[in-house]
């Protein structure tokens, strides 16, 4: 039962990141109209760096795909972790209205990392 719940949560998590990554290339989701001014400035700054959004989008797509596949979930969780930290910090400092979902997503990522900690142990020995 636990493995089925974990798979469904990881499937949704991975699909959310694949969707976010694809949006960085295809721009099919409109930007919300009620973004705080600080968030608008941050996004404008990110847009000035032409390679930044494609790089993050590619990482989100690859990490999301790996997160869905149980054999590669540990790798996907580590790949997505820096992006997830960035999302969490952005929501803490610039857009607190999205903090709840960011915390849930961060908790899922940490849960998967903890569940797969044995796979990471050879890296730290």
Q: What is the mean pLDDT of each run of 10 residues along the chain (125 residues)?
A: 88 97 92 81 87 95 97 96 95 89 96 94 88
What are the sequence ranges of the domains in the chain?
2-27+35-120
Q: What pTM was computed for the model?
A: 0.90
Say how many CA atoms lie within 13 Å of 6 toward its Cβ: 16
Q: Determine the pLDDT at residue 33.
A: 81
Can you tell me the distance from the alpha carbon of 38 to that of 58, in angstroms, rounded to the nearest whole number? Answer: 25
Q: Determine the pLDDT at residue 10.
A: 95
Q: Determine the pLDDT at residue 114.
A: 95
Q: Determine the pLDDT at residue 36.
A: 81
Dmax over CA atoms of the chain, in Å, equals: 49
Running DSSP on this structure, what letter comes out for residue 31? P
Residue by residue, DSSP assigns 63-120 as HHHHHHSGGGHHHHHHHHHHHHHHHHHHHHHT-GGGHHHHHHHHHHHHHHHHHTHHHH
Q: Determine the pLDDT at residue 39.
A: 82
């Amino acid at each position: 039962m636990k493995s089925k719940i974990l798979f469904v949560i990881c499937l949704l998590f991975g699909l959310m990141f694949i969707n976010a990554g694809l949006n960085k290339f295809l721009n099919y989701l409109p930007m919300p109209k009620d973004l705080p001014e600080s968030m608008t400035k941050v996004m404008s700054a990110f847009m000035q760096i032409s390679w930044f959004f494609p790089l993050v989008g590619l990482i989100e797509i690859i990490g999301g795909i790996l997160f869905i596949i149980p054999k590669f979930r540990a790798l996907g969780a580590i790949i997505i972790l820096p992006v997830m930290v960035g999302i969490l910090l952005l929501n803490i400092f610039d857009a607190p209205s999205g903090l709840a979902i960011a915390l849930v997503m961060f908790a899922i990522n940490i849960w998967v990392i903890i569940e797969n900690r044995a796979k990471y142990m050879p890296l730290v020995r």
